[in-house]
Amino acid sequence: MFLYILLAILIFGLLIAAHELGHFLAAKAVGVRVNEFSICMGPVLWQSTKGETTYSLRAIPIGGYCAMEGEDEESDDPRAFSSASPWRRLLILVAGSAANFLVGFLIVLILYLSAAGFTTTRIAGFFDGSPVPAETGLAVGDELYRIDGERVYLYSDIAMLLGRNDSGVYDLEVRRAGRIVPLDQVPLTPREYKEGGETVLRYGLYFSGEEKTVPGAIRAAWNTARDFARLVRLGLQDLARGAVGIGELSGPVGIVSTIAETGQASETTSQAVRNIAYLAAFLAVNLAVMNLLPLPALDGGRVLFLLLTALAEAVTRRKISRKAEGYLHTAGMILLLAFMAFITFKDIWKLLG
């Protein structure tokens, strides 16, 4: 268990470091001055200055940072972040999330390249006694394309999307003979069927498989990364409509605990590595999406402020002071840290309970 906790902390730190590396590479690419790039936080273990940038390795294995000239304050340096054109600043701001998304995609791709094949979303047949063909209009060869307006990217999406609707009646779209065919008000109810000598709960249909190819693995990895991003959106929607409460959210402590439990619950070391890697990929995409939310102190808040100030400066022909943005993000950071402290306390309380 302790080994998995250390591994979880390392994964969490590497994902944040990858985010900061994205900012760093983008800043260097567009000519913005980077004063320091640090892996980890806290006291300095190693430090070296090359050119204008100090590179640091610090003691606490969580996160890192990319300190750019003029990022949160006024600067007379023509290569300061605040002096860069809006498109350059925008590129730097989104690069961190892009790096996290890329990391998530690459992890899943590596996992999928070792798979023998994939289950598709194309209906291969129906269980004996299933009422689905007669009641729904679904046919062998149909590829499930949308369920209640949500795109079906992967086989695993089918159970997830069907499970989000408690009515048992769905609006489907299928791809049939190259055309998208809508099937409205389709009744689908899980029933007990015999499969491999065991009684299983299924919706009455089963799906075809396909052998792994490199293009197929790339496509599946891309769709999985997109699916991860969609799960974040669905989670936020559930939170907004009260389907889930704040008490169900997890912070760093909860995430580390989940990763450790995932490893410990795996039957073999090889399975533990795969399961933890898959979870790390989900966390990477999760960080990518969450950082782009339009909230102060997050990259998304900075992007929103950048777009608003660029529009205001274009209209008024006057430069807007960066102090106001700095105050806004400082206040946002204080609120964010307070919220994270609350979530962390809740996670610790749950562990102790």
CATH number reported for the structural domain that contains residue 148 in this entry: 2.30.42.10
Of the three residues 191, 211, 231, the one that is the final residue of a domain is 211
Q: pTM of the full predicted structure?
A: 0.87
The pLDDT assigned to 253 comes to 67
Residue with tokens 């969490």: 12
Of 323, 320, 296, nearest in space to 309 by CA: 320
User: Do 148 and 190 reside in the same domain of the chain?
Assistant: yes
Report helix, strand or coil for 78. Answer: coil
3-state DSSP helix/strand/coil percent for the chain, to nearest 5? 55, 25, 20
Residue 81 lies in a domain: yes
Distances (CA, A) of 315 to 302, 303, 311: 20, 18, 6
pLDDT in tens, 128-139: 888 887 777 899
**Is 262 a member of any domain?**
no
Give me 187's structure tokens: 């009744």
Q: Please, is 235 exposed, middle or buried when counting C-beta atoms within 10 Å of its C-beta (0-12, 13-18, 19+)?
A: middle
Number of other residues whose CB lies within 10 A of the CB of residue 172: 23
Looking at the structure, tell me whether residues 80 and 152 fall in a common domain: no
Residue 256 lies in a domain: no
199 Cβ contact list (under 8 Å, min separation 6): 192, 193
- What is the distance between the alpha carbons of residues 190 and 30, in angstroms, rounded to a whole number? 55
pLDDT at res. 222: 96
Same domain membership, residue 102 and residue 13: yes
The count of other CB atoms within 10 Å of the CB of residue 99 is: 24
Nearest-angstrom CA–CA distance, 341 and 44:
25
* Residues involved in catalysis: 20
Domain that holds residue 78: 2-112+281-352
Of 179, 211, 243, the one marking the end of a domain is 211
Total domain count for the chain? 2
Q: What is the pLDDT of residue 318?
A: 73
Please report the pLDDT score of residue 325 as a whole number: 67
Residues 316, 322, 326, 327: is their CA dihedral positive or negative?
negative
Q: Tens place of pLDDT for every residue, the chain, 353 residues?
A: 667 777 877 888 889 889 999 999 999 999 999 999 999 888 999 999 999 999 999 988 777 899 999 887 778 899 999 889 989 999 999 999 999 999 999 999 999 999 989 999 999 999 888 888 777 789 999 999 999 999 999 999 999 999 888 888 999 999 999 999 999 998 888 888 887 778 888 888 889 999 999 999 999 999 999 999 999 999 888 888 776 666 666 666 667 777 778 888 888 888 888 999 999 999 999 999 999 998 877 899 889 988 888 887 778 777 666 666 677 767 777 877 777 677 667 666 666 65
Q: Are residues 106 and 36 both part of a single domain?
A: yes
* pLDDT value of position 54: 96
CA atoms within a 13 Å half-sphere pointing along the CA-CB vector of 284: 28
Q: Are residues 122 and 171 in the same domain?
A: yes
Would 237 be classed as within a structural domain? Answer: no
- Give the residue from 160, 182, 211 where a domain finishes: 211
Rounded to 5°, angle at Cα 201 from 196 and 202? 90
* pLDDT at residue 248, as a whole number: 66
Helix or strand or coil: residue 275? helix
Domain co-membership, 86 together with 125: no
Q: Are residues 65 and 7 in the same domain?
A: yes
127: in domain: yes
104's tokens: 């998530």
- What is the Rg, in whole angstroms, of the alpha carbon atoms belonging to the chain? 24
Is the domain of 123 the same as that of 108? no
Check the CA dihedral 59-61-63-66 and report its sign. positive
Any idea what DSSP says for residue 81? G
